[in-house]
């Protein structure tokens, strides 16, 4: 006999599986005690005497003490409100003298007039196993075995359009919709995915071209081949992320692997009143760095008045992260998207070169997954924050409150650091040490935008190793980025990075007016931040009404 775990958690009964079905365990016999009939209460009917011949008392163990309860309280304590009939059936057996529950008598005659054929039930399983399913990127960590079907399906439409047609083609008997729903819910961990957002532009272009009736067969075949190659390249990029994550966990003393990305901006303030929907907001930026080895997430938060969101800000967040964590490893691996303005540019390359030139790391390797298929660990972190903010925090006034929201979304994994204006450094001096090259040392052209990997080593900090594929077979292309022009000015100490912003960044006058117009909806204790941002202590106290 095998024990099955039941829900809810307060359920203290245990079920045993045998050849005759599910049988109630004798735990109830220790809590439900049968007594002789205590007292008769006349009913307001023609029958003046109660038909009960016994009565039951219900005991619940509390700190090794048996406490008597009424039937309703007993059922609620054990979560048996919807199973009261089973309790009554067992009490009926106790009155007949049974000390333990009888075996289930259903099916003894061998007559199952309403049973579905095994072939019909098996057809449901075969269809569900054959239909394409997808793993969720954002909830993969919490539900690793959860799979999803197409977003345009429901259980009813799936049964009506897919399953019924499948049974007709295979010429097999079909089950009812209720049975189909039961099998889908009880045996398969399947859901229906939400519509995609931020899809890959190349994938969409290929799919539209393939479905174009004006193209000839040869052109369609060519587009399909290009599409398949694109998907294979995207899969190889994801395999690189998985292998690096495994490397960080297995050999954390030698390799430190991080993933970096910028989250969508937070509106500050975030209000629920109608006029706020039409007003401009002050934005709060959040840059996430995910430690793939320890699975911790470091969030760097700042307001629009303290800094922008360019390559200098991204590099400053990376330097701040290294200052906080101080990883004592030889090799640093960075996984990042292909955003040219923030990460895939010569500013970040100059910063990575400085990390090996100053002997901070023996090597720094940079990986770029395929555009539209990055699916970084940071995306899951950002999704957790956005879900929590949407469900739990409809109102947020200041960047400090956004920091509280991020911490509350995952207290064990999220570590929030507020970036001050002095934390942002200008990386311009590091760029003066490097020269942009479009050719390798062997004379082959170097396509910067198509690179999938960059690598620096401390043995030769000015040699940039570039790779244009995710395969381990292909060799790196060497690019010499050393400054060769004579007379070029180089600062005396280029590694001493100056502060980028000495004063708050200006905010658009129209945005300032919109922010100040919403002050009546903000508590007085939260208004100082907006006054400092706008540089104006005067605002309109009148509440704006929607037309």
Q: For 257-287, how does the pLDDT look when each residue is reduced to its tens digit (9 = 90+)?
A: 999 999 989 998 888 888 888 888 889 999 9
Count of other CB atoms within 10 angstroms of residue 303 = 25
Tokens of 415: 């570590």
Alpha carbon distance 335, 345 (integer Å): 14
Contact (CB, 8 A) for 399 and 271: no
Confidence band for 456, pLDDT divided at 50, 70 and 90: very high
Cβ atoms of 227 and 210 within 8 Å: the answer is yes
> Does 419 or 77 have the greater pLDDT score?
419
**Rounded Cα distance, 490 and 486, in Å:** 11
Name the burial class of residue 376, with classes exposed (0-12), middle (13-18) and buried (19+) by CB atoms within 10 angstroms of its CB. buried
Higher pLDDT, 355 or 81: 355
> What pLDDT score does 16 carry?
37
Q: Which of 8-22, 105-119, 220-234, 272-286 has the lowest mean pLDDT?
A: 8-22
| Most distant pair of Cα atoms in the chain: their distance | 117
pLDDT of 153 over the 50 cut: yes
Give the long-range contacts of residues 174-177, CB within 8 A, separation 24 or more. 174/120, 174/123, 175/116, 175/120, 175/121, 175/123, 175/124, 176/116
Burial of 311 (0-12, 13-18, 19+ CB in 10 A): buried
Instruction: Give Cα 545 to chain centroid, integer Å.
Output: 38
Q: What is the arithmetic mean of pLDDT over 348-372?
A: 91
Domains and CATH numbers, the chain: 3-95 (no CATH), 118-192 (no CATH), 247-436+444-466 (3.30.420.10)
- The lowest-confidence range among 100-114, 153-167, 258-272, 334-348 is 100-114
Reading phi first (left if > 0) and then psi (alpha if -120 to 50, else beta), residue 375 is in left
C-beta separation of 177 from 124 below 8 A: no
Identify whether the C-beta of residue 343 lies closer than 8 Å to the C-beta of residue 314.
Answer: yes
**pLDDT of the residue at 10:** 32
**What whole-number distance in Å separates Cα of residue 310 and Cα of residue 319?**
15
Provide, rounded to the nearest whole percent, the portion of the chain with pLDDT above 90: 22
- Cα distance between residue 57 and residue 71, in whole Å: 8
pLDDT given at position 532 = 79
Counting every residue written for the chain, the total comes to 547
- Work out the number of other CB atoms within 10 angstroms of the CB of residue 264: 11
List the helix and strand counts (H, then E) for the chain: 16, 19
Task: Please say if the pLDDT value at position 544 is more than 50.
Answer: no
Q: Which pLDDT belongs to residue 6?
A: 32
């Amino acid at each position: 006999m095998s024990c099955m775990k039941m829900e809810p958690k307060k359920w203290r009964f245990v079920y045993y599986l045998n050849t005759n079905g599910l049988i109630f365990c004798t735990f109830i016999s220790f809590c439900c005690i049968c007594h002789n009939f205590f007292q008769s209460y006349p009913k307001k009917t023609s029958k003046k005497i109660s038909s009960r011949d016994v009565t039951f008392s219900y005991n619940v163990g509390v700190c090794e003490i048996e406490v008597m309860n009424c039937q309703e309280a007993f059922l609620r304590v054990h979560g048996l409100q919807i199973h009261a009939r089973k309790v009554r059936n067992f009490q009926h057996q106790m009155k007949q003298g049974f000390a333990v529950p009888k075996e289930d008598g259903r099916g003894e005659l061998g007559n199952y007039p309403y049973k579905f054929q095994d072939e019909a039930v098996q057809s449901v399983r075969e269809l569900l196993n054959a239909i394409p399913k997808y793993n969720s990127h954002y909830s993969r960590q919490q539900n690793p075995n959860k799979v999803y079907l197409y977003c345009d399906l429901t259980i009813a439409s799936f049964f009506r359009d897919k399953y019924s047609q499948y049974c007709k083609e295979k010429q097999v008997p079909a089950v009812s919709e209720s049975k189909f729903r039961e099998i889908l819910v009880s045996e398969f961990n399947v859901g229906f995915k939400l519509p995609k957002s931020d899809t890959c532009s190349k994938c969409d272009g290929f799919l539209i071209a393939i479905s174009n009736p004006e193209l000839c067969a040869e052109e369609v075949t060519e587009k399909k081949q290009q599409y398949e190659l694109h998907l294979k390249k995207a899969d190889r990029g994801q395999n690189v992320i998985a292998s690096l994550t495994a490397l960080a966990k297995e050999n954390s003393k030698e390799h430190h692997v991080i993933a970096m990305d910028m989250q969508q901006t937070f509106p500050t303030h975030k209000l629920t009143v109608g006029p706020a929907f039409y007003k401009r907001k002050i934005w709060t930026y959040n840059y996430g760095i995910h430690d793939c080895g320890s699975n911790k997430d470091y969030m760097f938060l700042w307001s629009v008045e303290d800094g922008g969101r360019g390559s200098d800000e991204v590099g400053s967040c990376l330097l701040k992260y290294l200052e906080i964590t101080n990883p004592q490893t030889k090799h640093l691996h960075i996984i990042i998207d292909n955003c040219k303005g923030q990460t895939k540019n010569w500013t970040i390359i100059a910063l990575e070169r400085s990390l090996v030139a100053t002997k901070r790391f023996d090597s720094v390797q940079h990986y770029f997954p395929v555009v539209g298929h990055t699916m970084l660990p940071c995306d899951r972190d950002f999704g957790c924050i956005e879900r929590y903010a949407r469900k739990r925090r409809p109102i947020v006034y200041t960047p400090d409150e956004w920091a509280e929201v991020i911490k509350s979304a995952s207290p064990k994994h999220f570590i929030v650091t507020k970036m001050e204006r002095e934390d942002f450094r200008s990386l311009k001096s590091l760029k003066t040490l490097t020269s942009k090259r479009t050719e390798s040392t062997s004379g082959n052209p170097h396509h910067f935008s198509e690179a999938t990997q960059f690598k620096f080593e401390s043995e030769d900090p000015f040699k940039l190793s570039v790779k244009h594929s995710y395969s381990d077979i292909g060799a790196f292309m060497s690019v010499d980025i050393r400054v060769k022009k004579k007379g070029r000015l180089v600062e005396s100490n280029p590694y001493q990075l100056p502060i980028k912003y000495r004063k708050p960044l200006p905010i658009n006058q129209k945005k300032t007016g919109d922010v100040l117009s919403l002050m009546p909806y903000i508590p007085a204790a939260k208004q100082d931040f907006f006054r400092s941002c706008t540089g104006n202590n005067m605002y309109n106290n009148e509440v704006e009404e929607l037309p």
